[in-house]
Amino acid sequence: MAFTVENGTNVADANSLVSVAEADAYHLDRGNAEWAGTDAVKQSALIKATDYITQNYDGRWTGEVVSDTQSLAWPRKCTVVASNVVPALVKHAVCLLALEALTADLNPVLERGGAIKREKVDVIETEYMDGAPVGTVRPAVDGLLKKYLRGPSINRRVVRV
């Protein structure tokens, strides 16, 4: 499959929410020198980041997809942005994840779910607190996306008219 960017018009077979040029500009603005490699390497990282967003936030987005046949979660209708837009904050989250995807697996296989109680190698020992998250926590990504995610009703903003 070719690298195909969703531009808000429900592009057939889109597999990335961000173009290489957009990601280059994002990382240049932030001085992320680690964002390097050929366009093919960057495209692969952007696809992996889009896959992560798709897999981990599915069912939590506000609104609904524009078409039942679209390949990605965006564009959406009935959200806080127009239905022909992929929001900048969603693109920023993809860019952050793509940077990480250059050097790490965003969705690693976790042996026994990653719920380590104690691990000792020589004199180094790791024991996680009860209730600690099993996987990697990405608060920067969650923070960028929170505006577009459904939350518990107790945290919803009330507007009086």
pLDDT digits over 20-72, tens only?
999 999 999 999 999 999 999 999 999 999 999 999 999 999 999 999 899 99
Please give the Cα distance from 13 to 32 (Å, whole number): 29
| Band of residue 158 on the pLDDT scale cut at 50, 70, 90 | very low
Residues spanned by the domain of 63: 20-108+138-151
9 within domain boundaries: no
Phi, psi of 65 (to 5 degrees): -60, 155
Q: What is the pLDDT of residue 107?
A: 85
Asked whether the beta carbons of 114 and 134 are under 8 A apart, the reply is: yes
pLDDT at 153: 44
pTM as predicted:
0.80
pLDDT tens readout for residues 78-137: 778 899 999 999 999 999 999 999 999 998 766 545 555 666 678 787 666 666 556 677
The CA distances from residue 103 to 41, 100, 118, 124, 132, in Å, are: 11, 6, 27, 25, 24
pLDDT score at 79: 72
User: How many C-beta neighbours within 10 Å does residue 99 have?
Assistant: 21
* Domain membership flag for residue 37: yes
| Assigned domain for 33 exists | yes
Into how many domains does the chain fold?
A: 1
Sequence-ordered alpha helix ranges (H) in the chain: 20-29, 39-57, 88-101, 139-145
- According to the model, what pLDDT value does residue 113 have? 52
**Which is more confidently placed, 94 or 155?**
94
Q: Is the CB of residue 96 less than 8 Å from the CB of residue 140?
A: yes
In a domain, 130, yes or no: no
Query: What count of Cα atoms within 13 Å lies in the side-chain half-sphere of residue 74?
Result: 30
Return the sign of the alpha-carbon dihedral for residues 44, 56, 72, 88: negative
Q: Is residue 89 part of a domain?
A: yes
